[in-house]
A and B are shown apart, each in its own frame.
Chain A
Amino acid sequence: MESSAKAGKRHTGQTLLHARRTSRGVWAQLKKNRFLYLLLTPALLLTLIFKYGPMYGAIIAFKDFSPIRGIWNSEWVGFKHFEKFLTSPNFETIFMNTLKLSAYGLICGFPIPILLALMLNQIRRRGIKKNIQLFLYAPNFVSVIVIAGMLFIFLSPTGPINQVVSWITGSPMMFMTDPEYFRWVYILSDIWATAGWASIIYVAALANVDPELHNAASLDGASLLRRIWHIDLPTIKPIMAIVFILAAGGIMSIGFEKAYLLQTSMNLPASEIIATYVYKIGLQSGDYAYSAAVGLFNSLINVVLLIGVNMIVKKLNDNQGLY
């Protein structure tokens, strides 16, 4: 409607309708909206170059990359690099490390923001609620380097936590070097850093619940926990579904940044994940093609996972999925 109002200055409605069906109509559209296209251009160009460019560049995963011959002229080798990865002795460890780290992280981390939001929702005094939120959100703004640095400080064999531990058990726990502890350190610090912030959307959704619902339920004798279960939880269920899809779909795309920082030569059996492996073989050892193949393999798993999880959630959630 808006477009016809714009064009109405020059055309009658009829000619516009006619013009729209022809290719000249499209051209006229382009011309009429040229300012909007101009505004869109930077984002479009950057996306094409820096997002779709590398997708094209990913074909080196199927080639024997030679820096002299360049991406295009290097020799095709098919799935050689993929086979090499899938049959390498490291494959199982790295794959399972990646999967475990994020699956455990999802299982432990997913309920916490929901619990926080449900509890925050029970705080009636707005000032107090705001202050609690202020503190709980803060760690989200701390850089991953500082978080890792703090972990090294607090969990070092002589750090404050181990002073307590050795006082009780007589010997310090090797949090940062024993592979057994790596996942716990990673996951718990992740919850510490992100759970507060992740509760925002739940808190906001809960704020929209009509208080009359709670009053009525209370008059009917519903206890606090029943009201939370039957009123608050259903309110945030669709959001929970979306958050879960996104998290589960991204389960194999767990980030490089923190895992790499927390890696020590001793905890590698648990801390080497696909992302850090890709970095090491690619940028540190310079095996570009093989590394690109490992990365591409990982991306493909992610897409499949996301589609799969979305289908499952759609079934469970009255056809409400992500797309």
Chain B
Amino acid sequence: MLIQNSPFDRFMLVCMKLFLLLAVLVVVVPFGYIIVASFMDPTVLLNRGLSFHPGDWSLEGYRKILSNEAMIRGFFNSVWYAAAFSIITVLVSIGAGYALADDSLVGRRTVMTMLIITLFFGGGLIPTYLLIRELGMLNTPWALLIPGAVNVWNIILARTFFKGISRELKEAANVDGASDRIIFTRIVLPLSKPIMFVLALYAFVGQWNSYFDAMIYLEDSKLFPLQLVLRSILIQNQAAPGMIGDQQAMAELKRLSEMIKYSSIVISSLPLIVMYPFFQKYFEKGVMVGSLK
């Protein structure tokens, strides 16, 4: 290193490192609290706060949440919504991105403009809701899977990727007499696994974490994704609706609802927490390609 740092510079560097350490702590401590609290006896937690004494630990929160029917059903609903949504999103975006990356395509500019307008202007909540109702998609999973599948950022992401695929490669294939379809399926698709993976990850996480569409379009609680179940536990404080009876039951219900808050947060975040460190670089890649326009 050629850089000579003055004492003041070195002091500033230490300050910066301390600030970053603080930022990391601000992120980690709340998660740590939730995780520790999820393993604690709720009565102790309510009265005395966190404790690391083994006698105060309990797995009751997890036992209760794993035997909670709504939670389990929500979990599996979310898995399949997120998986299906990823597949649909990838298919739509890859197709559009590849077509729009071809400079010789007539109408390409018009379509791009049409897509970009939707980024800045939309019909709004009510007209969209009425349309979904009109199409008979209300209270069906399709309302979550189809309208959101076309996402302009994803298409731009895919288009940027395909523009990067060497044009000479395509031209060579063309000269060899390969049709567009053959070029796409034999050459382009195998090369585009990374972008498909990035798009799928984004779609999966987005669908897994969203609740709004499910809240407005779904009525049948059997169709609810995990986030809606979580909402009733975390925000609306309903551990088990319809169980309210005498005083004692009320107190028990309160204890139960407090108890499962922590474990439900851990369980619902588990898939992403496990996935995240492995896939971090793909997520980053997505941001980078997208921001290059």
Contacts and interface: CB of A to CB of B under 8 A. Distances in A.
Given A57-B130, A57-B131, A35 B125 contact: no
Given A57-B130, A256-B212, A282-B126, A46 B147 contact: yes
Given A46-B146, A278-B125, A144 B209 contact: yes
Contact of A288 (B12, B27, B126): B126
A25 to B, nearest CB: 9
User: Majority SS of interface residues in chain B?
Assistant: helix
A146 B287 contact: no
A68 interface: no
A219 B95 CA distance: 52
B243 interface: no
Contacts of B127: 53-58, 60, 292, 295
Contacts of B170: 2
B130 A55 contact: no
A142 B34 CA distance: 13
A35 B124 contact: no
Interface in B161-181: 167, 170-171, 174-175, 177, 179-181
Interface string A127-166: 0000011111111011111101110111000101001000
Contacts of B262: 153
Contacts of A133: 280
User: Majority SS of interface residues in chain A?
Assistant: helix
Interface residues of A, number: 95
B30 interface: yes
B279 to A, nearest CB: 10
B104 A33 contact: yes
B34 to A, nearest CB: 7
Contacts of B52: none
Contacts of A317: none
B291 interface: yes
Given A51-B150, A135-B28, A143-B227, A149 B261 contact: yes
Contact of A40 (B99, B174, B233): B99
A224 B24 contact: no
Contacts of B106: 26, 29-30, 33
Given A123-B20, A138-B276, A54 B124 contact: yes
B123 A141 contact: no
Interface of B: 1-6, 8-9, 12-13, 16-17, 19-20, 23-24, 26-28, 30-31, 33-34, 46, 49-50, 91-96, 98-100, 102-106, 111, 114-115, 118, 120-131, 146-147, 149-150, 155, 167, 170-171, 174-175, 177, 179-181, 184, 205, 208-212, 216, 227, 230-231, 233-235, 261-262, 265, 268-269, 272, 276-277, 280, 283-284, 287-288, 291
Given A146-B234, A223-B9, A278-B126, 6 more contacts: A40-B99, A123-B17, A143-B268, A145-B235, A160-B50, A283-B126
Interface of A: 2-3, 5-6, 9, 26, 29-30, 33, 35-44, 46-47, 49-58, 60, 71, 116, 119-120, 122-124, 132-139, 141-146, 148-150, 152-154, 158, 160, 163, 192, 196-197, 200-201, 204, 214-215, 218-219, 223-225, 239, 249, 256-257, 261, 275, 278-279, 282-283, 288, 291-292, 295-296, 298-299, 302-303, 306
